[in-house]
Structure formats: structure tokens, C-alpha cells
Amino acid sequence: MNCAKYDLKPLELEGHQLEEALNVIFHTILFHRSTGKYTFKSEGRYSIGAIGMEDVDCDRINMTYVRIPSEVFIAKVGNDLRTFCSALRAKEMANVTDKTITGQINLQFYVKSKVNWPRTPEVIPWEDWAVTVNLVSLANENERQNSSQKLRQDLSEIIKHIIRVVNDNDLHMPKEPGEKDHDCVYDTSIPDMQPYLFRILHSIDGDANYNEGLIGATVKKLSQALT
């Protein structure tokens, strides 16, 4: 399966806006890459539960985005985003040269190959969204207002681009699996909805070692799975 790759428009923003901006982007994508919970009645027969939506007003950016109102799902995404934001802002705090701090975070969808125990399933990416962010230091309120306005415009453009992509009928999506292979395509661990299997990976200033030293064992293992 070929992996479709999308490099979204880079963002320039202040550190306190970072987490919200990423939530806007990632939840917009995930909303279109999720479905209601499957309930299998027999092989080939199933029902799909409803999937909700809610509007979220940003506190630090003048915009609203849509997400799926699943507490477990929101926490799962939020934990991964906060890991990246904390690492990037820690690098910003340690910066003594006024250099712009750059990081990249990827939302990657994948399927797992079906193998017999004790072999480890192969991770096969089929879609990858990359977001480059540049943390900037602004000197005064006028610069902050101009920067915030541009950030809102950039995020609006990104959302429109995402919607165009996900509505493309020519996209190559994973084949709908049967009950036995369902967890090779969907994340079935969330009780009230199920996204396609995904993972969030990142790097900071191109320095993978710095990344791994801060993000803990879970994401480290995911990074190693790509090599």
C-alpha cells in the first residue's frame, strides 16, 4: 500500500498558542478518519454506532474547530500533542540565541499486517500529515495582533485544504476488514468510537536524539518502529 503524504502549510506562532493550533489541525483530520463503534452480529453482518461532534472555541486563537466528543479519544490525542509541545517549549526556554525554534509533528495512519504469535505485526503507513511549526518571540502587542491574525488565516487555509483532501474520491483507503482483522485497520480500544489506527511522531530542529530523550518510552518505540 502506498502512503499518501501531505505537508501542510508551516505555522509561525508563539509557544502559548502551539497546543491549540495543533488541536485544530489534528482533530479536523481525525474527525474525517474516524467512525462509530462497530458491533458484529456474525461474520459479514454488523451495525455501526453514531459518532458525535462538538464545537470547541479556542482560548488563545480566535477560531472554532470541530472534534469528536469522546473523553478517551480526546485524552489520547491530547497526551501526544502535549508531549511534543512540552519538548518544543523546553527547547525554546533553553534558547539563548533568539534563534527560531522549529519542530515537525506528524499524524500517521497505518494498518498492521496479520502475523502469527510471537512475530510482531508490521506497521504499514497509508497516510501521513506533516506540520512544521516555528516558535517566534514577538516584541510588542502590535506584532502579536498581526501574528495572531495571520495564524488564524493560516489555520483556516489548512482546514480548507484538509477538507478538500478527505473529500477526494480518488483517495486510496484501506479495505474494509472483516471482524477477525478489524483491529488491524481500526483502533478498537476506545469505547464509544473508533478511528483508523494512527500514531503521532515528531522531531525538534531535526534532532531525533533530543526528541527521544524527552518523550518517553512509548513514542521512542514508535520512532524505532520506523527504522
Is the pLDDT at 210 greater than 50, yes or no? no
Q: For 159-172, how does the pLDDT look when each residue is reduced to its tens digit (9 = 90+)?
A: 999 999 999 877 88
Q: For 180-207, how does the pLDDT look when each residue is reduced to its tens digit (9 = 90+)?
A: 899 999 999 999 999 999 999 999 876 6
pLDDT score, position 147: 96
Rounded CA-CA distance 76/72 in Å is 6
pLDDT score, position 96: 62
Rounded CA-CA distance 199/197 in Å is 7
Is the pLDDT at 152 greater than 90, yes or no? yes
Task: Pull the grid cell for residue 33.
Answer: 478518519
User: Hey, which residues does 56 pair with through a beta bridge?
Assistant: 65
Q: For 36-47, how does the pLDDT look when each residue is reduced to its tens digit (9 = 90+)?
A: 999 988 767 889
Q: What is the CA radius of gyration of the chain?
A: 19
Q: For 59-98, how does the pLDDT look when each residue is reduced to its tens digit (9 = 90+)?
A: 999 999 999 999 999 999 999 999 999 999 998 888 766 6
Is the pLDDT at 117 greater than 90, yes or no? no
3-state DSSP helix/strand/coil percent for the chain, to nearest 5?
Answer: 40, 30, 35
Rounded CA-CA distance 188/197 in Å is 9
Predicted TM-score of the model (pTM): 0.87
